[in-house]
Structure 1
Amino acid sequence: MKDATNNFLRTNLLGTGGFGEVYKGVLPDGTPIAVKCAKIGNTKSTDQVLNEVRILSQVNHRSLVRLLGCCMDMDQPIMVYEFISNGTLADHLHGLRSPLTWHHRLSIAHQTAEGLAYLHFLAVPPIYHRDVKSTNILLDEKLSAKVSDFGLSRLAESDLSHISTCAQGTLGYLDPEYYRNFQLTDKSDVYSFGVVLLELLTSQKAIDFTRPSDDVNLVIYVKRLVMEERLMEAVDPTITKDATDIELDTMKAIGFLAVSCIEETRQNRPSMKEVHEEIELIMTLGENH
């Protein structure tokens, strides 16, 4: 890994987080890779990396980042992933990379929902991601979405309706019910995904202190506009500007789907499978016209 990353050269650094650092590397056969290193001697960081290995070695889906291998030196475990070349969804939505058309945003929503529905319904036991957000959705050269960062993910126990666990995740994306009663369910991911849908529609950040104080939280801001029947005012003007009536209808439909995902009470939220099917339906409506 030292050879592949040029001895973890700083110019190869892709990102840092609570877990440690991620470097770009190249294998001897020319395959580009991403190398995630835990913080040395930090047990929490090591635990997250080991958890991610455990989760990712059990799953295989085109919308989830692939784990290629790992090195389990307990001082500093290292994970090797496929390299995803086009940055994060957040980079594209918040001006750090090229902007996305509505068509691309819709297919990113669809692919992400498909990956999460796979984790909830096809993985055995089911897996709750627990940190769904736009910085954890990577885009490849074709702008296809890959869900990443499973450091906080949990395996569900088949006979339990929820997992009791300390609320972890990212402010602005955190399921309020999970935050209140520490019960993690598949609907906690649905809530976070609803926030990502709002980001795709508005190009706004989940938490942004440059908005008026009542609107700092994107969920509260959009819910207020929905109450006032002004949902479309929240949508990024760059995608509404030259949009056809059908495209505007699909934006509205995604907006209302997002609002159903961010319902306060988890019983009122759709499942990830239902969300995926709904996005599929919205896309076909757009294509059929």
Structure 2
Amino acid sequence: MLAFELFLAHCTVDKEVMKMKKKFEGKEEYLMRNGALLLEKQVASSEGKGIAIKIFTAEELNKATYNYDTSLIHSRILSTVYKGNLDGQLVAVKTPEGLQVSDFMLEYFLNQAVTQIQINHKHVVKLLGCCLETEIPILVQEFIPNGSLSNHIMRSSVPFSWSDRLRIANEIAGAVAYLHCVNSNPIIHRDIRSNNILFDQNYIAKLSNFGFSVVIPSGKTGTEFRVDGIFEYMDPEYIETSKLSEKCDVYSFGLMLLELLYWKIIKVYPFIVEHFITKMKDGYHGQILDGSFVGEQAQRQAYTTLASKCIKYKGEERPTMIEVAKELRRIRGIIP
């Protein structure tokens, strides 16, 4: 049994004693509340079969980040991530620093912990544990040093080579296919976009940020959850029907394929989706704006055909992520 489960069990036995106390010290109060919520979410998402999560103390993370030294800030995308050192291991300490405390943020961070701990894949950022002693939990992940795909697109005037872009698409497709199939209940990421694709020391792509992720229990229709995500990347059919499924991730992945194709961020340049659809209707398979596509015609046509299938309005007309991953492997094998 997990350390915090033992703690909660003890708290349950002594709940009458707890009620007699007017107020707990902050970190004790947060630990009990967050621990209970985390356990509840684990049980709900894994049908009672919780997975052990290492619990770090606030003191350990203070020490790992030298009291959150601002010189160790690694990134500020929705959360503030510090580069830390825990017993000689480099880690990313993901804090809600600078964010307004709310039920949404509490849910967002707990959701990452519950979902990410279930995933063990070489192209998914690994969760090492979390701290529950703060108002919003703090996450501890493996340290990924080379930024996000969106940063590289926005800051680099020279795009990645086409072979690298195909490789990145392959790596993330494999990760998402794994999420959909690893458990009896599929994990829907709901936030696949270039911001959430990080690069390790060898520029291997890893999927991150599971704050919007949902595990769909068996027997559920996918309409039990509120509609969530980043609007520009959300499946339009999902927005209309509120029905969540694996095909929602397929749509978002298709938009990521366009970001790799055009080397532009859809949130900044939303017109590229319409531009792509128009070009495909006109028969211009694989026209790319940055002019760097060096693949042969067959490769170009196969890639753009796949992207167009992924962003079909109706989910039933889109391929599964297993089919997407298989097709991308085939495309990479076409010799330019």
2:82 and 2:92 in contact (8 A); partners too:
yes
Flag the 1:79–1:97 CA change in 2: closer, same or farther, 3 A: farther
SS in structure 2 of the partner of residue 220 of structure 1: helix
Aligned pairs for 1:20-39 (under 5 A) are 20-29=79-88, 31-38=89-96, 39=99
Aligned partner of 1:212 in structure 2 is none
Map of 1:174 onto structure 2: 234
CA contact (8 A) 2:109 2:136 kept: no
SS of structure 1 residue aligned to 2:63: coil
Look up the match of 2:306: 257
Q: Residue 332 of structure 2 aligns with which residue?
A: 283
Counterpart residue number, 1:230: 284
Report how many aligned residue pairs link the two structures.
274
Query: Where do 5+ consecutive residues of structure 2 fail to align?
Result: 1-60
Q: How far apart are the structure 1 equivalents of 2:77 and 2:105?
A: 10
- How far apart are the structure 1 equivalents of 2:295 and 2:307? 21
Aligned-pair CA distance for 1:2: 1.6
2:286–2:303 CA contact under 8 A, matched in 1:
no
- SS of match in other structure, 2:195: helix
1:190 corresponds to which residue?
Answer: 250
> TM-score under structure 1 normalisation?
0.88
CA distance in 1, matches of 2:264, 2:229: 19
Q: Specify every segment of 5 or more residues in structure 1 that has no aligned partner in the other structure, as ranges.
A: 210-215
Measured against aligned partners, the alpha-carbon deviations of 1:102-150 in whole angstroms (never above 9, x if no partner) come to 1111111001000000000123321000010000011112221100000
Q: Is the 8 A contact 1:172 1:218 kept in 2?
A: no
What one-letter code is carried by the residue in structure 2 that aligns with 1:226? M
Q: Tell me how far 1:231 sits from its aligned partner.
A: 3.7
Q: Which amino acid aligns with 1:270?
A: P
Amino acid at match of 2:147: G
Larger mean Cα displacement after TM superposition, 115-124 or 188-197: 115-124
Amino acid at match of 1:160: K
Which position in structure 1 is the counterpart of 2:206?
146
CA distance in 2, matches of 1:244, 1:97: 20
Structure number, greater radius of gyration: 2
Letter in 2 for 1:277: K
CA shift, 1:268, in A, is 0.3
> What amino acid sits opposite 1:185 in the alignment?
S
Provide the rounded CA distance (Å) in 1 between the counterparts of 2:243 and 2:177: 19
RMSD over aligned CA atoms reads 1.9
Report deviation, 1:14: 2.5
Task: Tell me the amino acid that sits aligned with residue 197 of structure 2.
Answer: I
Structure 1 position 161, deviation (Å): 4.1
